[in-house]
Amino acid sequence: MSHARHIVIGGGSGFVGRALTNALRARGDRVTWISRVPGSDRLTWDVLARDGLPDCDAVVNLAGQHILNPWRRWNAAYREEVIQSRVQTTRTLVAAINAGLRPPEVFVSTAGKCFYGTTEVGARDAYPELDEDSRPMGLDFPAELVGLWEAAAEGVDTSRVRHVRLRMGIVLGSVTRESALGRLWRVGRARGFLPIIRLPFCLGLGPVIGSGRQPFPWIHIDDVTGILLHVIDRRDLDGRFNAVSPGIVPHETFIRAFARHLRRPITWRAPGWLIERVVGGERSSILLEGQLVRPKRTLASGYRFRFPDLDAALDDLVKISV
């Protein structure tokens, strides 16, 4: 871009938010986070609700509790916390944007690929291909959550603000298999999907989940950042875009590729009932079912993926420290 801009990021301290912040600052843009914790180059959600949005060129909302947070037991209280962490923060941000005398040029709201829901797929049936114009296949809790999340963002005044709606796949970040046993037990936090599942795979206990046929809509963290920069910069883009790699694979293919890059075996398969027991029935569909999501509009807009292929992505992300 021709001049430095001010970008406000809701949930900027998270995994994707930090990656986007680094990319924006590297090219000379100023970044302010909306956060629960006050600090330098930050404002809290309470301050936003009270004082409004500062002058800025773009707003990106990435705020929300991770639905598959391994540190939190799934119960009614956490279910409500997950909903409110997405819906209420989005409503607060939309209200601040609409109230501003000089609103930002673009508002990028994000949600998940779970929007498309799940459906029963028989042993011989293929998963339907889904793009940005596809309707949900069926409702489960993750799809309901994304629907509420996206509905909260729809209140932004599109006569004054360009609105881009991004649906993200499972974001892959860097992960290292370390040789020292003491360091092996450190489980990465807020760095994407791979650190969450790293420990059992490093121990040779990583499983294939369920049938293994369910599609696994993944994306490299660099491509998430790249797509966000792309839609911020391109003033002719609005509407829905899928932030998923074109190289989507079945879950078992992904798991075996990840284990191979860690140089560890796959020795067992986790049945559906066990996954439901561990993560809770309402969110188990995220792991047991899948959506064959395609980035049709993303590719048509001119974005070129840095890592469209799974092996190339894992080559870049998975390191072994001897």
Segment 128-136 mean pLDDT? 83
Higher pLDDT: 102 or 189? It is: 102
Q: Which tokens go with 114?
A: 């779970």
pLDDT attached to residue 182: 41
Element (H, E) at 107: strand 106-112
Q: Angle at which helices 221-233 and 15-26 pack, to 10 degrees?
A: 60
The answer to whether residue 56 is domain-embedded is yes
Average pLDDT, the chain: 83
Residue type (1 letter), 278: V
Q: Give 151-174 pLDDT, tens digit per residue.
A: 889 999 999 999 999 998 889 988
pLDDT of residue 191: 52
Residue 197 has a pLDDT of: 60
pLDDT at 148 over 60: yes
Q: What pLDDT shows up at residue 185?
A: 42
Query: Does residue 132 lie within any of the structural domains?
Result: yes
pLDDT at 262 over 90: no
pLDDT of residue 188: 39
CATH code for the domain of 256 = 3.40.50.720
Name 203's Cβ contacts closer than 8 Å, sequence gap at least 6: 184, 264
Q: Does position 1 have pLDDT exceeding 60, yes or no?
A: no
Give pLDDT, residue 200.
63
The more confident residue out of 190 and 254 is: 254
Asked whether residue 95 is domain-assigned, the answer is yes
pLDDT at 225 over 50: yes
Question: Higher model confidence: residue 126 or residue 44?
Answer: 44
**pLDDT tens digits, one per residue of 56-91:** 999 999 987 777 666 677 777 877 888 887 888 899
Query: d(Cα 40, Cα 80) in Å, to the nearest integer?
Result: 30
Question: Cα–Cα distance between 103 and 53 in angstroms, integer?
Answer: 8
What does the pLDDT look like over 172-194, one tens digit per residue? 988 776 654 444 444 433 355 55
Tell me, yes or no, whether 310 lies in a domain: yes
Residue 1 lies in a domain: no
- Count the domains in the chain: 1
Residues 235/105, Cβ–Cβ less than 8 Å: yes
The more confident residue out of 198 and 183 is: 198
Percent of the chain with pLDDT over 90: 44
pLDDT (average), residues 215-221: 93
Range of the domain at 167: 6-321
Return the pLDDT at 193: 57
Domain contains 75? yes
Q: What is the pLDDT, as a whole number, of residue 139?
A: 66
pLDDT of residue 198: 57
- 267 assigned to some structural domain: yes
Task: Evaluate whether residue 286 is within a structural domain.
Answer: yes
Per-residue pLDDT at 112 exceeds 90: no
